[in-house]
Amino acid sequence: MLKITVLRAKELMAADRGGTSDPYVKIHIGDDQHKTQVIKRSLAPTWNETFTFDFEDGEISSELLVECYDYDMIGSHDYIGSTSLDIKTLTSKKSEWFKLVHPDNPSYNAEVFLTLVPSFETKEEIERRAAGSVPDAGSMTTILILDLVAGRGLEAMDSNGTSDPYAVIQVGSEKRKSKVIKKDLNPEWNEKFEMVVSDLNDSLRVSVWDKDLIGSDDLIGE
Q: Which run of H or E residues covers position 129? A: helix 123-131
In this prediction, residue 56 carries a pLDDT of 57
pTM listed for this prediction: 0.60
pLDDT at 5 over 60: yes
Domain ranges for the chain, please list them: 2-132, 142-221
Query: What are 29-36's contacts with CB under 8 Å, separation 24+?
Result: 29/2, 29/53, 29/60, 29/61, 29/63, 29/64, 29/65, 29/87, 30/59, 30/61, 34/4, 36/6
Quick one: what percent of the chain has pLDDT higher than 90?
50
Per residue in 152-188, pLDDT (tens digit) is: 999 999 989 999 999 999 988 788 899 999 999 999 9
In this prediction, residue 195 carries a pLDDT of 78
Cβ neighbours of 28 (radius 10 Å): 18
Average pLDDT, rounded, for the chain: 85
Give CA–CA dist 214/130, Å, rounded: 56
In this prediction, residue 125 carries a pLDDT of 54
In this prediction, residue 126 carries a pLDDT of 55
Give CA–CA dist 185/72, Å, rounded: 51
DSSP SS3 for 126: helix
In this prediction, residue 70 carries a pLDDT of 95
pLDDT at 192 over 90: no
User: 99 with 77: CB under 8 angstroms?
Assistant: no
CATH number of 142-221: 2.60.40.150
In this prediction, residue 90 carries a pLDDT of 80
40-49, 98-107, 194-203, 212-221: which range is least confident on average? 194-203
Taking domain 2-132, whether its CATH number is 2.40.30.10 is answered by no
In this prediction, residue 131 carries a pLDDT of 63
pLDDT at 87 over 70: yes
Of 125, 180, 137, nearest to 157 by C-alpha is 180
Give CA–CA dist 57/122, Å, rounded: 9
User: Could you write out the DSSP letters of every residue in 43-87?
Assistant: SS-EEEEEEEE---TT---SEEEEEEEE--SSSPPEEEEEEEEEG
pLDDT at 215 over 80: yes
Mean pLDDT of 193-203: 79
Per residue in 105-133, pLDDT (tens digit) is: 888 899 999 988 887 555 565 566 556 55
In this prediction, residue 179 carries a pLDDT of 93
Q: Quick check: do 2-132 and 142-221 share a fold?
A: yes
Q: Which run of H or E residues covers position 29? A: strand 23-29
